[in-house]
Structure formats: C-alpha cells, structure tokens
Structure 1
Amino acid sequence: MRVFNISFHCLLKIALKKEENEEVQKEVEMSLLALSHIQFYSSIDKEPYLNEIKKIIEYHQEHYNLTRLAYQSAWKFLMDRYYEGNNSKWVIENELCFAREAAKELEDLSKCVDWKRKEEKMEGKEMKEVHIVNRWINVINNYLECCTLWNEELVGLIGGVVNVFRQAKDNYKNITKWCIFSFRGAVQNKNIEIDSLQKEGVVDLISEKMKQSTLQVEVIWDCLEFFLTILKRLKEKTDDKAEEVKRKANKKKMLEKLEEDGYEDVITSFHETIDCFHQQLKELTKNTFDYFVNA
C-alpha cells in the first residue's frame, strides 16, 4: 500500500505541472491517463486528491492548458469516486460544473468526427477523438445515475448525449450502447425529470432503437428497463397538486406514445425470440408488458 501511495502522489505531482511545452504536456497527459486507470475502490486519501484534481481542472477551465485526453482523464479519475460523499458531489456539481463541461466537450468532439465513416476505417487523430467521446459517455453514466443538482446545464448534458447517439447510431455501436445505458441510469435517478427526457428526445430514440431487428441482449435489457422505470415512476402519486397534474399529463402522453409506436408488439417479439439462456430477460419483457397493460 505504501508503494502504491508513493506512485499515486508522484503521478499527481507530474499532473500538476503547468509549463507550456510539448514535452511537459505529454508527461501531464500520460500521468493523468495513468491516474484515470486507478480502480475506484483503491485506498487513497480523499481530501488531498480532491483538492489537487480540482486545481488541475480549474486551471484548465481558465487557461486551456491540457489536451482533450488529459482533461477527460482528470475528470474520469474524479468521477470514478463520485459516490464517495457529499463534499465530492458538491465540488463536482457546483464548483467544477461537470454537466456544463461534459456537454461542451461532447459538442466540440462531435465536430471533429466524420460520423458517416465506418469506425474500422478511421485512423490517427479522428480515431483518438472517437475514443475520447466513448470515455466521456462512460463518466457521464456515473453522473446521471446519482446527480442531485437539477438545472439547465444538466438538461443540456442530456441533450448532448442524445446528439452523440443520433450521430453515432449507424456506425458506432459501442458508443450508442453506452448512451442507452446512460439514459437507463438517468431515468432511475428521481432528481431527473421525466418530461425533460421526453423533450430532449430520449424517449423517441430508445423507442426507435427497440424497433431494430438485431439488438445486443444488453441493449434490449437497458431499453426495457428504461421504459419499465418510467412507467413505475409515473404510477407514483404525489400530494403536491401541481406535481400530480404534471404526473398525470406525462403518464397520458407516455402511454399514447408507446401505443402509437406499437410498444406491446415490440416487447412481445422480444419475449418470443430471446432464447432460454436469458430467462431473466424473458421475465423483464413479461413484467414490462404487464406494467404497460395495467398502467
């Protein structure tokens, strides 16, 4: 453990360098990349790393001294420890404004990729940009699952992931798979409003995805869980009159949408075609169907 802590602090010391030359920039990038691969359950003194990584991110936000990969790596290291306590959450959500920064990075990176080109035909810098997009989507998963601050920046982040999904859907299956996983996490977080997921197009894109004839089992699972969670949330009554009116309106809108898209037929086909090795998934299709019928 002592050797590990020494190595960790050496990497952090290198990452804090601010000299603006190519050699130092490469050292910083490599050290942050190495830090981003430290497992989230590794024992590290919380306050020192939180303060130091915060300094690195804040300095970049002001001076833009990091490469895209280095900046994403700093965030990945921090976001892998997002669950550790209220202090970490406050810094990530309010002081460093993760939702705003992640949405901006996704937008900028999306402009650097020719999404019409097959992934296997990419090379060099463009391939690296796609890799960084994938890394961002993965850390966004953590955020959407348990963020507590609901604001326009979070709505913008959800819209940014929707935009990436729509651009990547034809040629980048891995990215679209992780986008759907992110939306599954988002709908399970009661701090995220269902009507915003509808307005940003999340419901539409998952509904479209479910109609495809060939889907990976994990994608089917995430899509079904997404709708099952929405239906469960929309059945939960509230004592707040304004919120109750809103809930009923959203529920009506959602059921009309699902009926229009032939949702019953879609999940029935999943139930019939999934082989016996995926019994849990069969149960999920049945439960989703029952919720839809009885909603």
Structure 2
Amino acid sequence: MPCLLKVALNKEESDEVQKEVEIALQALRCISRDYSVKKELYLNEIKEIIEYHQEHHNLTRLAYQSAWGFLINRFDKDKSLEEVIINELHFGREATRELEELSRNVNWKKKEEKIVGKEKEEILLAGCLNVIHDFFEYCRLWNEEYVGLINSLVQLFRAAKDNHRGISNWCIYSLRKAAENRFVKVEDLLKGGAVEAVLEEMQGRTVDDGMLFNCLQFFKNVSNRLEEEEKDEKEEEERKATKRKVFEKMEEEGCEDIITSFYEKFVFLNRRYYHELSLKISD
C-alpha cells in the first residue's frame, strides 16, 4: 500500500506518469473492504490525492473514481472516516458533479450496446454509480449535499431509462439503498425526486422482476421509516407531515392502480426473494 500511494502521489504532468497513477489507484481500489487497514497507513496520502485533484484537476476520471472507491471501501471497518469523506472531502458535492458531467457526454438517444461496444463515458458512469451505491450502503452521517446527489440520480435515471436500461437500473438500485439507510431522511428522498422516479419505473412497460423488487423494497423501506418512533412532539409532527406528502405523491401517480396491476406478481417475488422481502399482500 505505501508503494502504490507513493506512485499515486506523483504530480508530474505527463501521459506516462498519469497512466502509472491511474493503475496504482485502480490497484488500491481492488483491496477488499474485508481487510482492516490502519488509517495511518493511507489517510493523509489519499486525502492529499483527492484534494489536489479537486483544485488542479490532474487525475483522469477513472483514477479519481478509484481514489474514492478505495477510501469508501475502508468505510465498513472504520466509521471515523465519515467526517473526512462527507464534511472535509465533500463526497456528495463531488459525486453530483461527476454524474452531471459524465451524463452530458452520453448520447442517450442511441440504443445501449453490449459491454464491448459501450462508450467510455458509459463505463465511467457505471463505475461512479457503483461508488455511490457503496456509499449509501455504509454511510452513517448525512448533510444537505445529498439532496443534490439524489436529484442527480433521478435526472440520470430519466435520461437513461428508454435506451440505457443498465444505467437506469443502477440508479433505482442506488435510490433503494438510500431508502434503506435510516440516516437518509425521507424528506430528502422527496425533495430529490426519488419517490417520483421509483413510481415512474413501476409504471414502465419494460420493468422486470428484479427491478420491481427494488421498487417495492424502496417503498417498504420508506414505509418502515415513516413508522419509526420519534423522540419528541416536533419530530412526530414532521414525520406525519412527511407521511402525508409521500401518500399524496403516490396518489397523484396512481400508485394504488400500479400495485393492483402487479398483484399476482407479489407471490412470485416473495418466493424468489423470500430471504429479503416479506410482504403481506393485503397491505
């Protein structure tokens, strides 16, 4: 790890050095989250790499993604990294910017091709979404930047849903992960447009069983969160207000009709995902 970080810290501006930096950061990203690594071995160096890029834009997109991927892989074993990732390095702001910039470079009207024919931007988008998914899975700290990130996922979903189902599916999966995270406020999911996006996916003609499961799991998680006990009367009032907003949005979008139309699929989904999904059909 120290050798790879030393290579990745090289700031010379040449194609050869840039390629070495990229390879070193990709290798670091491949270190499994199952391994516990003392942050003294990497934190100052990886912070310097990310902060220098934020100021000078010296890394390739793949290298920058890999730096974040490496750091977020360490999340699971060391929760003290959250303050650094969220409030010092501003992951939410950076991930939002990356999604928006990459999205502008994809031809959304062109049909998605097999992996060998994918454009570079599509592959980078998939990598970015993978990092965001991992972040939502392990994040236990939240700030206002993530409303923008949720909204970027929603906009990307809408751009991709007709011709790039792989990317749009990743967006819905990431939103489901956000809804699973009890530290993500339901109000922020509403503000970011996540509820509308998931309802849109459920109404789509091409929704498959796996994606339907993710959509139902999203609403199951939202429902569970809205039923959580609150600490005081003010929070209870806020929860009730948020619950009304969610129900109104679902009613606007015809969610009752959507769920009724999928009635017979519930049994199949419950059988296929029995270890993950517990649904009472009558509810």
TM-score for the superposition, normalised by structure 1 = 0.86
Question: What does residue 217 of structure 1 align with?
Answer: 209
* Deviation, structure 1 residue 260: 3.8
Q: Is residue 176 from structure 1 mapped to residue 168 from structure 2 by the alignment? A: yes
Residue by residue over 1:181-221, the C-alpha shift from the partner in whole angstroms, topping out at 9 and shown as x without a partner, is: 11111112222221221122110110010112332322111
Greater alpha carbon shift after TM alignment, 269-278 vs 75-84: 269-278
Choose from 144, 152, 161 the match for 2:144: 152
The 3 A distance-change label for structure 1 pair 89 and 245 is same
Choose from 104, 111, 114 the match for 2:107: 114
Could you tell me whether the CA contact under 8 Å between 2:176 and 2:218 is conserved in 1? Answer: yes
Give the counterpart letter for 1:152 in structure 2: E
Question: What does residue 32 of structure 2 align with?
Answer: 39
Question: What does residue 254 of structure 2 align with?
Answer: 262
Question: What does residue 244 of structure 1 align with?
Answer: 236
* Deviation, structure 1 residue 283: 9.5
* Deviation, structure 1 residue 275: 7.4
* Deviation, structure 1 residue 282: 7.4
The 3 A distance-change label for structure 1 pair 261 and 129 is same
Choose from 183, 192, 195 the match for 1:191: 183
The 3 A distance-change label for structure 1 pair 29 and 239 is closer
Give the counterpart letter for 1:58 in structure 2: E
C-alpha separation between the residues in 1 aligned to 2:276 and 2:46? 41
Gaps of 5+ in 2: none
Greater alpha carbon shift after TM alignment, 46-55 vs 146-155: 146-155
C-alpha separation between the residues in 2 aligned to 1:160 and 1:14? 33
The 3 A distance-change label for structure 1 pair 228 and 47 is same
TM-score for the superposition, normalised by structure 2 = 0.89
Q: CA RMSD for the aligned pairs?
A: 2.6
Residue by residue over 1:46-102, the C-alpha shift from the partner in whole angstroms, topping out at 9 and shown as x without a partner, is: 321222211211111122110111111111111122222232112111211111111
C-alpha separation between the residues in 2 aligned to 1:175 and 1:123? 16
Could you tell me whether the CA contact under 8 Å between 1:210 and 1:220 is conserved in 2? Answer: yes
Greater alpha carbon shift after TM alignment, 205-214 vs 239-248: 239-248
Greater alpha carbon shift after TM alignment, 12-21 vs 255-264: 255-264
* Deviation, structure 1 residue 266: 2.7
Could you tell me whether the CA contact under 8 Å between 1:267 and 1:289 is conserved in 2? Answer: no
Gaps of 5+ in 1: 1-7
* Deviation, structure 1 residue 285: 7.8
Choose from 70, 73, 76 the match for 1:77: 70
Question: What does residue 101 of structure 1 align with?
Answer: 94
Question: What does residue 158 of structure 2 align with?
Answer: 166
The 3 A distance-change label for structure 1 pair 98 and 274 is same
* Deviation, structure 1 residue 151: 2.6
The 3 A distance-change label for structure 1 pair 60 and 280 is same
SS of residue in 2 equivalent to 1:287: coil
* Deviation, structure 1 residue 286: 7.3
C-alpha separation between the residues in 1 aligned to 2:43 and 2:277? 42
User: Where is the helix percentage greater, Structure 1 or Structure 2?
Assistant: 1
Choose from 7, 19, 22 the match for 1:29: 22
Give the counterpart letter for 1:77 in structure 2: F
Question: What does residue 206 of structure 1 align with?
Answer: 198
Residue by residue over 1:136-185, the C-alpha shift from the partner in whole angstroms, topping out at 9 and shown as x without a partner, is: 11111122234344332111111111121111111222211221111111
Question: What does residue 3 of structure 1 align with?
Answer: none
Q: Is residue 87 from structure 1 mapped to residue 58 from structure 2 by the alignment? A: no
The 3 A distance-change label for structure 1 pair 63 and 114 is same
Indicate the percent of aligned positions where both proteins have the same amino acid.
49
Choose from 127, 130, 137 the match for 1:135: 127
* Deviation, structure 1 residue 284: 7.9
Could you tell me whether the CA contact under 8 Å between 1:137 and 1:179 is conserved in 2? Answer: yes
Q: Is residue 48 from structure 1 mapped to residue 41 from structure 2 by the alignment? A: yes
